[in-house]
Amino acid sequence: MTGTVHVVGAGLAGLACATALAGSGRDVILYEATDHAGGRCRSWHDGLLDRVIDNGNHLILGANPECFAYLDRIGGRAGLITVDPVALPFLDLRDRRSWTLRPGNGPLPLWLTNPARRVPDSRLLDYLAAFKLAFVSPDAPVADVLPAGTPLTERLWKPLAVSILNTPYDTGSARLLWSVFRRTLLRGAEACRPWIAGPAGLSGALVDPALAYLARSGAAARFGARLKALERTADGLVSALDFGSERIVLAAHDKVVLAVPPEVAARLLPDLSVPDRYHAILNAHYRLQSPVTLPGGLPLIGLVGGVAEWLFLRGDVLSVTISAADALMDRDADDLLRLIWRDVAAATGLDPDRPASGRIVKEKRATFAATPDQQRRRPGPQLSANLLLAGDWTDTGLPATIEGAVQSGHRAAAMAAQ
């Protein structure tokens, strides 16, 4: 006999869980506290820019099998644009030197033997030092393994580490960084291939098709349903869900998947250990008045030596992402638009004194701090026979990424179906 699975939270972890269960024929009810799905991965039409923008610029990589399984299930892959050729251009704003990360076709990094494919002023031996990440203590920060100050660190390792972990370089977990490197850089070009949101934004690929899939499958989605409390028996089983205006009593075979942020999970389950430190991400979106081409000719580029870290071009909207941006959260939006525009102008040749119309989006708690001590606070998925957790903050073996969120949702779905 099978019961209903109550999935609380309609971020990507919750959507992945709910769609996987619905696809296998299980009865599913999805609850979301807000009026929209997607969590930190969402899109909307911005009235000022008169364009669809995303709350952040998220990359999906070829090495994200869980994400592509989710996209193929819901029919969302067409909402993404692949970056071809597989390359990641960089520009150092301080000296105008540029380079492109172009992994080879196989798992062995033989491409590094070609000096023209290395970061300027780096040596082959510098890259081999990255393999030390595979053998470090769980307590080791990245900076202890790949010291700051070298050309390779400042121009490649640091930009990649800060964006992957959304954590300052000197405190980020070396183990978590390695978990991404071994899935991408060590598996060749196709594993590193970036996919970015198409014209309909992230919601058009990852969220809206999931809601449509759930509707077709007969699953219910209830928005504006904020879970106030979990009622549990002495042995830890969930007996009821208290939404304030409604109390749902669980049947004998029902299960609950909590796919909520860590601070919400901690409120509902006071004895649960969760990450309790966070870092911010700041995004700026500009609507350009004239066409531009980013250096390298691709729709994205990494910047070194400025405030802006990554530029993404989608039509006439140029978006900027700054990771671990805690120090910028209290800055005025207009001031930030001017500050970031100077880096945009330096990279594109646009007039630095004439910023395009823009929108600042701040995510103050974008991800948990991917440090060794916070990694130890990440819980596993199963709390009792009928209570499971999902979310990129649970112990997925990955940093807080789309792949980690979807992986956790699929894991919870598989366990709930047992």
pLDDT digits (tens, 9 = 90+) for 359-405: 999 999 999 999 999 999 999 999 999 999 999 999 999 999 999 99
Q: Give per-residue pLDDT as tens, 207-251.
A: 999 999 999 999 999 999 999 999 999 999 999 999 999 999 999
Q: Give per-residue pLDDT as tens, 121-160.
A: 999 999 999 999 999 999 999 999 999 999 999 999 999 9
- Cross-strand pairs, 249: 240
Global pTM value: 0.96
**The pLDDT value given to residue 1:** 55
Distance, first Cα to last Cα, the chain: 11
Interior/surface letters 151-181, b for 16+ CB within 10 angstroms, e for the rest: bbbbbbbbbbbbbbbbbbbebbbbbbbbbbb
Q: Give per-residue pLDDT as tens, 297-351.
A: 999 999 999 999 999 999 999 999 999 999 999 999 999 999 999 999 999 999 9
Instruction: Report the CATH number at residue 242.
Output: 3.50.50.60
Question: Is residue 390 domain-resident?
Answer: yes
**The pLDDT value given to residue 109:** 83
Residue 358 token pair:
């823009």
User: Under DSSP, is residue 96 helix (H, G, I), strand (E, B) or coil?
Assistant: coil
Residues 6+ away with beta carbon under 8 Å from 117: 100, 102, 111
Our count of domains for the chain comes to 1
Residues 6+ away with beta carbon under 8 Å from 337: 284, 286, 355, 358, 360
Angle CA 341–342–343, to nearest 5: 90
Question: Is residue 368 domain-resident?
Answer: no
Question: Is residue 194 domain-resident?
Answer: no
**The pLDDT value given to residue 278:** 99
Going by pLDDT thresholds of 50, 70 and 90, the confidence category of residue 172 is very high
**The pLDDT value given to residue 18:** 99
Q: Give per-residue pLDDT as tens, 62-97.
A: 999 999 999 999 999 999 999 999 999 999 999 999
- Cross-strand pairs, 5: 28, 255
Q: Identify the helix (H) or strand (E) that includes residue 23.
A: helix 12-23
User: Under DSSP, is residue 210 helix (H, G, I), strand (E, B) or coil?
Assistant: helix
Question: Is residue 249 domain-resident?
Answer: yes
**The pLDDT value given to residue 107:** 76
**The pLDDT value given to residue 53:** 98
**The pLDDT value given to residue 378:** 99
Nearest to 98 by CA among 305, 312, 244, 388: 305
Question: Is residue 401 domain-resident?
Answer: yes
Question: Is residue 336 domain-resident?
Answer: no
- Cross-strand pairs, 254: none
Residues 6+ away with beta carbon under 8 Å from 22: 28, 213, 214, 217, 218, 219
| Residue 108, pLDDT above cutoff 80 | no
- Which pairs from 125-131 meet CB under 8 Å and 24+ separation? 126/150, 126/151, 126/152, 127/152, 130/157, 130/181
**Burial of 25 by CB count in 10 Å (0-12 exposed, 13-18 middle, 19+ buried)?**
exposed
Q: Give per-residue pLDDT as tens, 250-281.
A: 999 999 999 999 999 999 999 999 999 999 99
Question: Is residue 389 domain-resident?
Answer: yes
**The pLDDT value given to residue 105:** 86
Question: Is residue 211 domain-resident?
Answer: yes
Q: Which domain holds residue 39?
A: 4-49+200-276+378-416
